[in-house]
Structure 1
């Protein structure tokens, strides 16, 4: 499979649509708006992972774990597994190209009719459920859910599924196999991606290394790519501002070194913005936007729900389960573990809607299998409840525990453990707010709600049928104040009929006042944040259906054709991979700029200094292939960043489409070489400028290597090129402190391994040092 994302140096200054986030809502928005013929840019905070690149052991998984709490802004945090620590409830979600679809259990299940008829939804939804049904149909066509194929094509009946049937019979509740977004045959899918069949490895929630899981990276995102969308990763969007008819989307490029210089945020301009950063991310962006003056409903951050999520274990059952994923023991053969979730005991048809629930089995992903034996034994002693008795049973349980400790998690007590995920209906009264610039989740005492005691009882019954020990969520106890963990955060930007009740309307368009129905033109939210109540089951299909519906409504309102036909170019035929290893570094230079000085750089510098007309930039320079960079006589690299020029604009300007050339030789003057910088600048006011700079590397019989390699002569023009009106000249220099920071930012990019990365950086260093020596010592000897 080829990469979908582009390097940040290819970011354009303006788009028809900027989509923030790439989970179900964001991927659908990017696909559908691109199909409408719009110029689409998708910005994702996380990294892009291809099959085979997900963690397979605990060390690798630990490197991708990102715990968010406290007061630090966490602006560079983008680990695949993101844990947000709240007050009363904690949240786990995915962070990568594909969003939480990369690390969820793939379950596509219809919401109950009573849920969608609830008055929490806008009237336009309740009165037109056919449009919601159509949205589900469109999502179903893209995600391709299907049940696990028992006794078909070599797929065995799973022990964990047999155990669930047994539990359902004991509980007198309905059992069925679930529709899951997993491919069970080798094929090229409907958008041109080659997918391998599921190997039953059980590692769905740490990332599918097989490529069988139908994440949005396998369907909607390639579809967006096929229809011309620009996709960028490791872009942390912070807030939005409205500028006339356009939106400015302010962001921080993650881990390229700009934070070392305390550089300002960059921005991209859009006619329309669709926030799809998840319940937490979209809410946080709007909360921060409100701090920057955007008028929004007071309901922002309210009605947060964990979708009634409860995790539990049926530990050390009398029957085998085989619920531990393979991790680095993965196989090309069909294993006995199975996809993360395959079946459900569906208890939603209760007289009272909020008493219903779905109980599903799961698997523990292989990368964390090593901690399971000791953890489960400890929790069973502290909070476990054994469901059967007798000296014989006691001895058999102890023997199975010993086997797990000695032989590992694929044996004994751990191998006989059923994992349960329950979804039900909490009261949806959680709140999110910004606290010292950091998102805070507040919902103290949520775990004490009566519904969770009922859930605990159902898990006990399911475990009793198997003769095991019921272990609740380890944080759900008196000592931990019955805190919960959710993998399905919803709400915060809830749908409603007007701003006094919610944040967005029925299609996700954001209300522009605290009351009434006035809307921000061109601003939408499409993800789990808009859902105004718990769904009571896995919400991905509900989220997808609403996003599909919203995109269709937007297209119809604007008169855009939206085709759902599948006849795209095959992405596998497009070579989007990097050929070699590149090098990247970030540089800050500071000086003065003389507005109106059109002849002399030195005069411009002195004029700017006298008038306190400072000029400063922080630019990131990237070579895509260091070997090509060295061989090319122009030694070209790409460049992106920000520039500050108060004489032009009081706000930081974003520098895009930049070009950097290192040590350009002049045959007519072999003792002179030039470093060239050019970039297009976009001001916050919407004005375009063109920046041009050069360093004159020349041995004039004085050892002035420092001055020559750290002094930049600059021109600034109106418009998009040097053919525009010249506005002034000046000079910039690198300070010692900034040079030290710059050296810390030098690193390899898209290296295949650490050795290749070190080799690329070494090649760049030798190239730079060699040219300095050649200029200042050989010609001067």
Structure 2
């Protein structure tokens, strides 16, 4: 993939500070809104996101790239990278698709920004404050709209044409005798520098919204709330997966692991960061999983945790091989202006069927787009599935012949011609019973919801989609998993619930503001612990939920500000756009060293080691060493990189310590003896209770008698000081070593960062290896 200049938002993991006023977990709508608003309120905010940062141009546009960006959570195992963009949770009754990256699921949704039917909020599942206070919800809606900037497709304006797929939806709406309208979508239709200083390109009608917008037209949180948070001082970190929370000394301790760093190979402990306030915005599955793990670790929570999960009544279907052209497959690797005809935003039009007397019978039908990255597998897949599961709605001899010709054309010419050119995707949101349950199995979140697909609403919706397809003269194809053979399993892209709102702990996990209940009963609350994402929504909302989630998150931030005496400014002052740059190729590896350490010895390393060994005082660290610019590191005199990681030293703390401000110098000349080379380590050490130490260590490469290169490069002489730097009193000394078995593991953790392809990655690793080998050769031979 070609690299190009971008205004990246995330900072290196080595820059995570030991303490923040607020730690926000997750970067979808709930998390990014909290980060933006609380940073605007003047708080020191750190945001932790488990996925990577993708900017326009980084998203997959072909099948090979898309496959690399898929991860699957199955009942007994996980497939793919833990930072892959497209995450599928496979369960017995309902499968869930979510996004994994900076921006959360906003990166891979269809951006529909619509309010629910007001009757949704009359349900007693909502807390009384929500049911009786529409004004605060409405303020949240308007603030979210001001940031997300939804627009309707500007048909006939500024060169935007009529779209075949929306024209087909108009035909279907007329046949169903239901109203059609263009949906408000978070998409930009003009080139501009937006209200938070981000350069955006107008929508090029490629249709690939749900695999990630490569043109910067889609108003994900990466285009607004997240850069706004950065503009106001928030620090954003990616590839950081939060595990659980703990309350210590009236502060929150947030335990996390570094993604794809190899620390698990050494069975290293979790890292942690402390905060006065924690905002969970990791999504319905993510936030619930973190709280379930926190409960396992002793945090008192409501017994409702994990209950009342809903898939928002999602239904997926297809009108295959219609008599109307649709252009319903995204551009993929094709560029605007090439031979592919305009597709449009993923969702442009909506058939709104919510005006039923019974709220639960209402739903919306939206037209979608199949991602172009999948175009290579679509012809065979659709023709086979249509033959097995499809229902032809207009069978006659002439029509049969035309449909057959279109199928042949698709087989020969591919997904952009024939039957697939005439295929319409239906996306439906309705109302299910919300009786799913989230729980942990094999330390991962699972969904249980027996017979969910057999609820009457899903048959009603599928029958209506057949009627719509009949109006278009096509073959109706249900979601392949919604069949008798598959036990009518469902798929949802709108998971809600798990940490639902309630008036007390017996009826909810959080209160109306998203603050977490601190017991199984009553209304006592955890100070400074909130959930602000879709997990708090206690029922299906019957439409795309992003605006509801956003409005509730805005409302929560308003209440937090009031409770803490803060002021949030909602204006948009002029800002200088962030500098765009190409990230240089870096390098990362993880190292474990073990040995002994004594607080009784202040002067001699060997004596400290021996005393520690006699008193059973071990010292172990597992450090991830990161060079964000490998060329600079290798060519500079200090050969400096940064470090993140943990220290286990019972003499200092009964629990593992986390490090900050770690620095590593590779082969620098000894100032006292230029004939020696040293590898230097220094870092601050932090206990979960907030106590601080300072660590220094060195390895010494010297050409002594005999060939002692392994001993020299695997032995570290360490000193620990009281306080934040080396000016404090010495706490103790010791010696650490790399064990051969750990060195073998260490080698497998070496990886290039920000490489464009496999060749650039291999070159970076080779350059590092040559530098290391050359330095040792010159020193010893």
TM-score, normalized by length of structure 1? 0.98
Q: Is 1:613 aligned to 2:617, yes or no?
A: yes
1:700 CA displacement: 2.2
* Equivalent residue for 1:140, pick from 132, 142, 145: 145
Whether the 8 Å CA contact 1:86–1:441 is kept in 2: the answer is yes
* Residue range with higher mean Cα deviation, 558-567 or 748-757: 748-757
| CA displacement at 1:120 relative to structure 2 | 1.2
In the TM superposition, what whole-angstrom CA distance separates every residue of 1:422-446 from its partner, at most 9, and x where no partner exists? Answer: 1100000000111232211000100
Q: Distance in 2 between matches of 1:178 and 1:586?
A: 49
Matched with 2:684 is: 680
Q: Is the 8 A contact 2:665 2:679 kept in 1?
A: yes
1:757 CA displacement: 2.4
Task: Give the match for residue 131 of structure 1.
Answer: 136
Look up the match of 1:448.
Answer: 454
Residue 35 of structure 1 corresponds to 40
**Does the CA contact (< 8 Å) of 2:243 and 2:256 recur in 1?**
yes
The two structures, once aligned, show a CA RMSD in angstroms of 1.3
In 2, Cα distance between the equivalents of 1:3 and 1:667? 38
- Whether 2:159 is the aligned partner of 1:154: answer yes
Question: Are the equivalent residues in 2 in contact too, given 1:345–1:359 (CA < 8 A)?
Answer: yes
Query: SS of 1:489's equivalent?
Result: coil
Measure, in 2, the Cα distance between the counterparts of 1:243 and 1:75.
Answer: 35
Cα distance, 1:580 vs structure 2: 2.2
Describe the shift of the 1:384–1:579 C-alpha distance in structure 2 as closer, same or farther (beyond 3 A).
closer
Do 1:9 and 1:640's aligned partners in 2 also have CA atoms closer than 8 Å? Answer: yes
Return the match for 1:197 from 194, 202, 205: 202
Confirm whether residue 67 of structure 1 aligns to residue 72 of structure 2: yes
Q: Which residue of 2 aligns with 1:669?
A: 673
Task: Check whether the contact 1:76–1:254 (CA below 8 A) recurs between aligned residues.
Answer: no
Shift in CA distance, 332/241, structure 1 to aligned 2, threshold 3 Å: farther
Q: Quick check: 2:394–2:473 contact (8 Å CA) kept in 1?
A: yes
CA offsets, 1:10-53, max 9 Å, x none?
A: 11000011111000000100000100000001111111111111
Look up the match of 2:539. 533
> Match of 2:765, SS?
helix
**What are the equivalent positions in structure 2 for 1:292-691 lying under 5 Å apart?**
292-331=297-336, 335-572=341-578, 574=579, 577=581, 579-666=583-670, 669-691=673-695
8 Å Cα contact 2:583-2:754 kept in structure 1: no
Q: Shift of the alpha carbon at 1:76? A: 5.8
Shift of 1:315: 0.8
Question: Is residue 761 of structure 2 the alignment partner of residue 769 of structure 1?
Answer: no
Partner deviation per Cα, 1:572-625 (whole Å, 9 max, x = no partner): 3x35x4652111111110000012201111001110111110000000111121
Further displaced range: 683-692 or 266-275: 683-692
1:262-293 Cα offsets, whole Å, 9 max, x none, are 11111111111001110000000000000000
Q: What secondary structure, in the 3-state scheme, does the structure 1 residue paired with 2:486 have?
A: coil
- Whether the 8 Å CA contact 2:188–2:218 is kept in 1: the answer is yes
8 Å contact kept, 1:73–1:438? no
Paired position in structure 2 for 1:246: 251
Secondary structure class of the residue paired with 2:472:
coil
- Deviation string 1:640-686 (CA, Å, 9 cap, x unpaired) is 10111011112111111101111111365221121110011111222
Residue range with higher mean Cα deviation, 71-80 or 580-589:
71-80
Residue 387 (structure 1) shift: 0.9
Cα distance, 1:512–1:64 mapped onto 2, change above 3 Å = same
Contact residue 276 and residue 527 of structure 1 kept, 8 A: yes
CA contact (8 A) 1:20 1:44 kept: yes
- Inter-partner Cα distance in structure 2 for 1:581 and 1:63: 20
Secondary structure at the residue paired with 1:479? helix
Whether the aligned pair in 2 keeps the contact of 1:103 and 1:204 (CA below 8 Å) is yes
Tell whether the 8 Å contact from 2:252 to 2:276 is kept in structure 1 after alignment. Answer: yes
Whether the aligned pair in 2 keeps the contact of 1:199 and 1:335 (CA below 8 Å) is no
Please state if 1:219 is matched with 2:219. Answer: no
SS of alignment partner, residue 485 of structure 2: coil
- Whole-Å separation in 2 of the counterparts to 1:675 and 1:368: 49
TM superposition shift of 1:54: 0.4
Instruction: Work out the CA distance in 2 between the residues paired with 1:332 and 1:626.
Output: 39
- Measure how far apart 1:176 and its partner are: 0.4
- CA positional deviation for 1:556: 1.2
- Residue of structure 2 equivalent to 1:109: 114
Q: Is the 8 A contact 1:107 1:179 kept in 2?
A: yes
**2-structure distance, mates of 1:570, 1:332:** 32
Shift of 1:701: 2.8
- State the shift of 1:332 in Å: 5.3
Counterpart position of 1:706: 710
TM-score, scaled relative to structure 2: 0.98
Structure 1 position 74, deviation (Å): 7.5
SS in 2 for 1:284: helix
CA distance, structure 2, for counterparts of residue 775 and residue 146 of structure 1: 65
Query: Which of residues 50, 54, 70 is equivalent to 2:55?
Result: 50
- Quick check: 1:142–1:219 contact (8 Å CA) kept in 2? yes
2:733 aligned residue: 729
Distance 1:653 1:73 in 2: 29
Q: 1:280-308: per-residue Cα shift (whole Å, max 9, x none)?
A: 00000000000000000000000000000
Q: Identify the residue that residue 97 of structure 2 maps to in structure 1.
A: 92
Distance 2:384 2:429 in 1: 26
| Cα drift, residue 191 of structure 1 | 0.4
- The answer to whether the 8 A contact 2:97-2:492 is kept is yes
Preserved contact between residue 200 and residue 335 of structure 1 (Cα < 8 Å): no
* Structure 1 equivalent of residue 759 of structure 2: 755
Deviates more, 1:369-378 or 1:42-51: 369-378
* 2:3 corresponding residue in structure 1: none
Deviation, structure 1 residue 571:
3.2
CA deviation string 1:206-262 (max 9, x = no partner)? 000011000000000000011111100111111111112111111110011212211
Tell me the alpha carbon deviations over residues 81-105 of structure 1, each in whole angstroms, 9 at most, x when there is no partner: 1000122110011111000010000
Q: Distance in 2 between matches of 1:481 and 1:70?
A: 17
Distance 2:641 2:577 in 1: 26
Q: CA deviation at 1:339?
A: 0.6
* Matching of residues 17-36 of structure 1 within 5 Å: 17-36=22-41
Deviation at 1:73, TM superposition (A): 6.8
